[in-house]
């Protein structure tokens, strides 16, 4: 997920900007790290308040309507979509910023494996061992906490990200990310040969068609339905990378306008999300893309071009969270599960649950990510 990048090496190596002959570029994009931190904490707060049961305390009034705090964090699940857009951006940025560099796809593949797979394997094996130990010791409630019955075929497939492991629901995004890495070269080649906006439009068409029953049934055995459904998110990241490295005078007037008015784009997209996005249980790939894709596309442009956004997301707290965002994402759901089982007191009132979920759980998730 998310982007589901591993560590500081991702932010400093994956998003390296080589110097162009006509444009001097920086070697690091702190604001992109800051967006990773935002995405990770969005997922954390969403799971803190919504993963098991929603707590109506505290409440506040908004335009005469009483709103419990957990509903404010409900859109936090879209932090995963922000990771998807960032993934497209960070993979494409080095290629666009150094167009004369020769493509080395074997090295690209090895880098993807090296940066994503080892931390996942370590966390997977640790969590699996913990769950199995709880089950063996018959500690309540082992069935709910990080455990699935051992079967060799399923175990190997989950270990190599061929299928989603049910030991941790959040790991479905890693399986999707793994498949996305195979599609990236084709989308990058397309974005180089035609205007990237046409590439995005083509990918949106593929995504829409893939949801028809005729095609969905044929994609299901290969688990490609979710990939094609979310593929436009990654494509928007590629387009954002193209806009980020292009000189202003080289862009068409309308793309130049998008870059210069990215703050307006964020504002309008956010209002559009509030009005358009359906409840979580009713979302589809189409509504997800239409609601959240433009928001996170403009957010990336804003943090790179608008001084206000750049200053906020380049600040130390956001950047430090971004550096460990992958570790936070790997461990946040197990930490929250453990907190709910072993820390929350039975019969805790609203204030007690508020302190546990709003204050303690997020801190524990960050500490776990930092330690990992």
Containing structural domain, residue 184 = 8-371
pLDDT above 80 (res 362):
yes
Please give the C-alpha separations between residue 370 and each of 98, 110, 167, 200, 363, in angstroms, as whole numbers: 33, 25, 22, 36, 11
User: Alpha-carbon distance 313 to 295, whole Å?
Assistant: 16
State the pLDDT at residue 20: 39
State the pLDDT at residue 23: 44
Q: Is residue 106 part of a domain?
A: yes
Per-chain mean pLDDT for the chain: 82
Query: Are the beta carbons of 369 and 328 closer than 8 angstroms?
Result: yes
Tell me how long the chain is.
Answer: 372
Structure tokens at 115: 């940066």
State the pLDDT at residue 70: 72
Q: Is residue 22 part of a domain?
A: yes
5-31: burial string, b at 16+ Cβ within 10 Å, e else: bbbeebbeebbbbeebeeeeeeeebbb
Q: Is residue 323 part of a domain?
A: yes
Q: Is residue 61 part of a domain?
A: yes
**For the chain, what is the total number of helices (H) and then of strands (E)?**
18, 2
DSSP 13-70: IIT--PPPSS----S--HHHHHHHHHHHHHHHHHHHHHSS-----SEEEETTEEEEHH
Q: How many CB atoms lie within 10 A of CB 262?
A: 24
User: Alpha-carbon distance 54 to 232, whole Å?
Assistant: 31
Per-residue pLDDT tens over the stretch 37-90 = 999 999 999 888 776 566 666 777 766 777 777 777 778 889 999 999 999 999
Sign of the torsion formed by the C-alpha atoms of 338, 341, 342 and 347: positive
Query: Are the beta carbons of 216 and 210 closer than 8 angstroms?
Result: yes
Per-residue pLDDT tens over the stretch 115-161 = 999 999 999 998 888 888 877 776 666 556 666 777 888 888 888 98
Q: Which residues contact 284 (CB under 8 A, 6 or more apart)?
A: 211
State the pLDDT at residue 57: 67
| Structural domains in the chain (count) | 1
Q: Is residue 3 part of a domain?
A: no
Confidence of residue 283 (pLDDT cuts 50, 70, 90): low
Segment of 25-34, 150-159, 258-267, 332-341 carrying the highest mean pLDDT: 258-267
Under the phi-then-psi rule, with left for phi > 0, alpha for psi from -120 to 50, and beta for the rest, what region is 223?
A: left
List, in sequence order, every residue forming a beta bridge with 61; answer none if it has no partner.
Answer: 66
Phi, psi of 26, rounded to the nearest 5 degrees? -80, 165
Per-residue pLDDT tens over the stretch 307-323 = 989 999 999 999 999 99
Per-residue pLDDT tens over the stretch 210-264 = 877 777 666 665 666 688 889 999 999 999 999 999 988 889 999 999 999 999 9
Confidence of residue 12 (pLDDT cuts 50, 70, 90): very low
Structure tokens at 243: 């806009």
State the pLDDT at residue 340: 80
Confidence of residue 207 (pLDDT cuts 50, 70, 90): confident
List, in sequence order, every residue forming a beta bridge with 65; answer none if it has no partner.
Answer: 62
Q: Is residue 320 part of a domain?
A: yes
Structure tokens at 304: 């790179």
Q: How many CB atoms lie within 10 A of CB 334?
A: 21
- Indicate the pTM of the whole model: 0.87
Q: Is residue 30 part of a domain?
A: yes
Q: Which residue has the higher pLDDT, 261 or 355?
A: 261
Q: Is residue 2 part of a domain?
A: no
User: Alpha-carbon distance 38 to 317, whole Å?
Assistant: 10
User: Alpha-carbon distance 280 to 268, whole Å?
Assistant: 21
Task: List the one residue out of 58, 39, 26, 2 whose CA is nearest residue 321.
Answer: 39
Mean pLDDT, range 291-296, rounded to an integer:
90
Per-residue pLDDT tens over the stretch 164-198 = 887 888 898 999 999 999 999 999 999 999 999 99
């Amino acid at each position: 997920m998310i982007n589901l990048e591993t560590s500081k090496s991702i932010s400093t190596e994956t998003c390296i900007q080589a110097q162009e002959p006509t444009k001097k570029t920086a070697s690091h994009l702190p604001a992109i790290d800051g967006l990773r931190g935002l995405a990770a904490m969005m997922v954390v707060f969403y799971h803190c308040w919504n993963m098991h049961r929603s707590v109506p305390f505290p409440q506040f009034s908004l335009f005469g309507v009483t709103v419990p705090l957990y509903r404010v964090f409900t859109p936090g699940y879209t932090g995963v979509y922000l990771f998807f857009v960032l993934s497209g951006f960070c993979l494409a940025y080095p290629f666009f910023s150094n167009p004369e560099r020769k493509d080395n796809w074997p090295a690209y593949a090895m880098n993807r494996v090296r940066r994503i797979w080892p931390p996942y394997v370590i966390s997977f094996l640790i969590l699996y061992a913990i769950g199995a130990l709880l089950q063996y010791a018959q500690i309540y409630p082992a069935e709910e906490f990080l455990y699935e019955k051992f079967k060799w075929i399923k175990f190997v497939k989950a270990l190599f990200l061929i299928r989603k492991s049910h030991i941790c629901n959040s790991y479905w995004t890693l399986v999707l990310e793994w498949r996305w890495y195979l599609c990236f070269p084709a989308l990058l080649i397309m974005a180089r040969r035609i205007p990237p906006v046409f590439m995005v439009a083509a990918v949106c068409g593929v995504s829409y068609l893939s949801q028809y029953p005729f095609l969905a049934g044929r994609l299901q055995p290969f688990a490609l339905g979710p990939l094609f459904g979310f593929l436009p998110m990654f494509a928007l990241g590629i387009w954002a990378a193209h806009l980020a490295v292009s000189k202003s005078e080289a862009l068409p007037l309308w793309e130049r306008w998008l870059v210069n008015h990215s703050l307006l784009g964020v504002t309008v997209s956010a209002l559009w999300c509030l009005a358009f996005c359906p409840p979580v249980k009713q979302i589809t790939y189409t509504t997800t893309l239409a609601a959240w894709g433009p928001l996170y596309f403009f957010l990336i442009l804003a943090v790179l071009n608008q001084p206000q956004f750049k200053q906020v997301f380049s600040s130390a707290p956001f950047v430090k969270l971004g550096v460990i965002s992958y570790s936070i994402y790997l461990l946040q759901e197990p930490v929250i599960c453990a907190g709910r089982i072993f820390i929350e007191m039975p019969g805790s009132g609203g204030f007690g649950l508020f302190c546990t979920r709003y204050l303690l759980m997020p801190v524990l998730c960050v500490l776990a990510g930092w330690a990992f």
